[in-house]
A and B are shown apart, each in its own frame.
Chain A
């Protein structure tokens, strides 16, 4: 099977067809735009819609008595518990999608096999299980605060939109294992940032036991990030060295 970095018939560059591209460029250079101006008009339109639009949505009301009481008590102490709940729900959504992401990568590994310096199936499975465990940690955290862990909060909604491109890359049967790992790297980078923020929030709000659980999760995520980063780097370097050998 061909590798993505093999030389093939990619037609996308202007240099593919020198005669046609010359025509294209000359005609474009002779063009007078139909409207004067630059990109600032686009920014203006966007600003206009931004100033007129509402927001994506808000947090749900507390679904349990415990949640309602907590909401009132936190309100008395001038804390906004919804901020913490929103960030917990964001991480929960990400871990849930993350679990599915690792399932996609494992299918790719099973179909295509690994590479030197790349992941083993056991390691991928271990990371998958840890993503699932983190999902449960977050679910318990939300439940302990009287919140509904199934609610799609604004930050959770945005996290899902952000992850949607990664899901597309991972599930494309034409992407290679290293290409999938690159998508996973983006996910893990965002994930470690997310956990870092959660630990800080939990600590500042006095949820020490929760912060401890999150530190455990953070350590696992840092391990994921370090490994995925290394796998991606190993492949790129080997690929480059292989290419250089061929070129020589």
Chain B
């Protein structure tokens, strides 16, 4: 669906103040019957709304004249976030939801890496992908061994459950998580949309693990969440580093709204659940309203044409589909890579005095939860108990 951003006005901001509690809190999806990608879209869009909220708060803290506009838009983003995130069902345990978060991190990142034209940024995405791929394997082992459940009830066979770059080696010194930013003046528009999307997704994953880790009584689960939440922090560091820090606040706001339109549109176009499709349609119209509001502000505040920053029509969308072959290929070719500063090198080329080596040794010196939880674990349909004789 072509969407001309120079013409599409969406729903005006005033008309968006039509939410009620009942409107926001709707019947959730079915954990059993809805397609896994419906669940993934909810999780990613919750992350984007969370990012919209956090970004707009940071903006407001640093820019007094923009506070009123930010407050108005932000309140609607908050309504949207509730409407979207509350679509997750309560019979989906926190650990099962975690499995779905990792599936987002695999399938969405794989799609973004395919869309990304800048080879370095695509490499950054694939680097993160292999780490999240490993997290899925570790959490699947935990789900099997703690709750006696099969992760595939959530994954629906779209995603492999295999070791990736082992979580135990992912712990790096903070500066080895920094990356080179794209150049705001030369980067393709899709690079900016891709970068914000992955940042939003990973940041929400960090938030989620940091919040739910203590809900588990099992020390193994608490340890594993602590460990993987740290990698998500590293990923947030990585993905925020690829964004040009010289973008102005207003440029960033424009890009945020454009990224939301682009993402909701992808949801709308690919949604299989008619009830959710209607929600995504409404969200596209509302985000177009936000985008137009911010474009007007941009013209006034920066005295520039917003289409110097955002594209007039939206680029190719995220594909909500299995990327099994892509992921296997990346696993085969790139699992041995490590980062040294902002660059990726084969593990054999990491200098012996790398700060990440010392960091990793220290943080794992009392044991590695991710190794313990998955020791000997091989994914088996119906859980590994199927292979254990009674």
Q: Decide if the interface of chain B is mainly helix, strand, loop or mixed.
A: loop
Q: Is the pair A150, B27 in contact by a Cβ cutoff of 8 Å?
A: no
Taking residues whose C-beta sits less than 8 angstroms from the other chain, chain B's interface range is 20 to 34
Output the least CB separation between B366 and chain A (Å).
Answer: 16
The answer to whether residues A154 and B390 also contact, given A132-B385, A160-B147, A167-B146 and a CB cut-off of 8 A, is no
Q: Is the pair A99, B385 in contact by a Cβ cutoff of 8 Å?
A: yes
Given known contacts A100-B146, A136-B390, A167-B146, what 20 new A-B pairs fall within 8 Å (CB)?
A55-B30, A56-B31, A57-B33, A96-B148, A96-B385, A97-B148, A98-B148, A132-B385, A139-B382, A139-B386, A150-B150, A152-B149, A152-B153, A160-B91, A161-B93, A167-B218, A168-B217, A171-B219, A173-B217, A173-B219
B381 interface residue, CB < 8 Å from A?
yes
A93 interface residue, CB < 8 Å from B?
yes
Q: Is the pair B33, A58 in contact by a Cβ cutoff of 8 Å?
A: yes
B174 interface residue, CB < 8 Å from A?
no
Q: Is the pair B218, A171 in contact by a Cβ cutoff of 8 Å?
A: yes
Residues of B with C-beta under 8 A to A171: 146, 216-219, 221
Q: Is the pair A133, B33 in contact by a Cβ cutoff of 8 Å?
A: no
Residues of A with C-beta under 8 A to B91: 56, 157-158, 160-161
Interface size on A, residues (CB 8 A): 39
Residues of A with C-beta under 8 A to B117: none
Q: Is the pair B145, A100 in contact by a Cβ cutoff of 8 Å?
A: yes
Whole-angstrom CA separation of A73 from B28 in the bound complex: 35
Within 8 A of B (CB), among A80-139: 93, 96-100, 129-130, 132-133, 135-136, 139
Output the least CB separation between A153 and chain B (Å).
Answer: 8
25 contacts between A and B (CB under 8 A): A52-B27, A55-B30, A56-B31, A56-B89, A57-B30, A93-B148, A96-B383, A97-B148, A98-B148, A100-B145, A100-B146, A100-B147, A129-B390, A150-B153, A151-B153, A152-B153, A153-B32, A160-B149, A169-B217, A171-B216, A171-B217, A171-B219, A172-B217, A172-B218, A173-B217
In-complex Cβ contact of A56 among B32, B150, B383 (8 A): B32
Whole-angstrom CA separation of A175 from B219 in the bound complex: 12
Q: Decide if the interface of chain A is mainly helix, strand, loop or mixed.
A: helix
B81 interface residue, CB < 8 Å from A?
no
B370 interface residue, CB < 8 Å from A?
no
Per-position binary interface string of chain A over residues 224-244, scored 1 when its CB falls under 8 Å from any chain B CB and 0 otherwise = 000000000000000000000
Residues of B with C-beta under 8 A to A150: 150, 152-153, 381-382
Whole-angstrom CA separation of A135 from B383 in the bound complex: 11
Q: Is the pair A56, B153 in contact by a Cβ cutoff of 8 Å?
A: no
Write the residues of chain A forming the contact surface with B, with a CB cutoff of 8 angstroms. Answer: 49, 52-58, 93, 96-100, 129-130, 132-133, 135-136, 139, 149-154, 157-158, 160-161, 164, 167-169, 171-173, 175
6 closest pairs, A vs B, by CB? A57-B32, A133-B390, A172-B217, A171-B218, A96-B148, A97-B148
Residues of A with C-beta under 8 A to B33: 57-58
B61 interface residue, CB < 8 Å from A?
no
Residues of A with C-beta under 8 A to B332: none
Whole-angstrom CA separation of A209 from B243 in the bound complex: 66
Output the least CB separation between A59 and chain B (Å).
Answer: 9
Closest to B388 in A: A132
Within 8 A of A (CB), among B340-390: 381-383, 385-386, 388, 390
Whole-angstrom CA separation of A136 from B386 in the bound complex: 7
Whole-angstrom CA separation of A99 from B386 in the bound complex: 12
Write the residues of chain B forming the contact surface with A, with a CB cutoff of 8 angstroms. Answer: 27, 30-33, 89-91, 93, 145-150, 152-153, 216-219, 221, 381-383, 385-386, 388, 390
Output the least CB separation between B167 and chain A (Å).
Answer: 21
Whole-angstrom CA separation of A55 from B27 in the bound complex: 10
Residues of A with C-beta under 8 A to B390: 129-130, 132-133, 135-136
Whole-angstrom CA separation of A154 from B153 in the bound complex: 12
Output the least CB separation between A142 and chain B (Å).
Answer: 10
Residues of A with C-beta under 8 A to B32: 56-58, 152-154, 157
Whole-angstrom CA separation of A154 from B31 in the bound complex: 10
Whole-angstrom CA separation of A129 from B386 in the bound complex: 13
Whole-angstrom CA separation of A55 from B146 in the bound complex: 27
Closest to A48 in B: B22
Residues of A with C-beta under 8 A to B386: 139
Residues of A with C-beta under 8 A to B383: 96
Residues of B with C-beta under 8 A to A56: 30-32, 89, 91
Output the least CB separation between B218 and chain A (Å).
Answer: 4
Whole-angstrom CA separation of A173 from B216 in the bound complex: 11
Residues of B with C-beta under 8 A to A158: 91
Whole-angstrom CA separation of A132 from B93 in the bound complex: 23
Whole-angstrom CA separation of A97 from B383 in the bound complex: 10
Output the least CB separation between A88 and chain B (Å).
Answer: 13
Residues of A with C-beta under 8 A to B145: 100
Output the least CB separation between B326 and chain A (Å).
Answer: 26
Output the least CB separation between A109 and chain B (Å).
Answer: 16
Residues of A with C-beta under 8 A to B218: 167, 171-172
Residues of A with C-beta under 8 A to B27: 49, 52-54
Whole-angstrom CA separation of A2 from B155 in the bound complex: 44
Whole-angstrom CA separation of A64 from B230 in the bound complex: 44
Output the least CB separation between B383 and chain A (Å).
Answer: 6
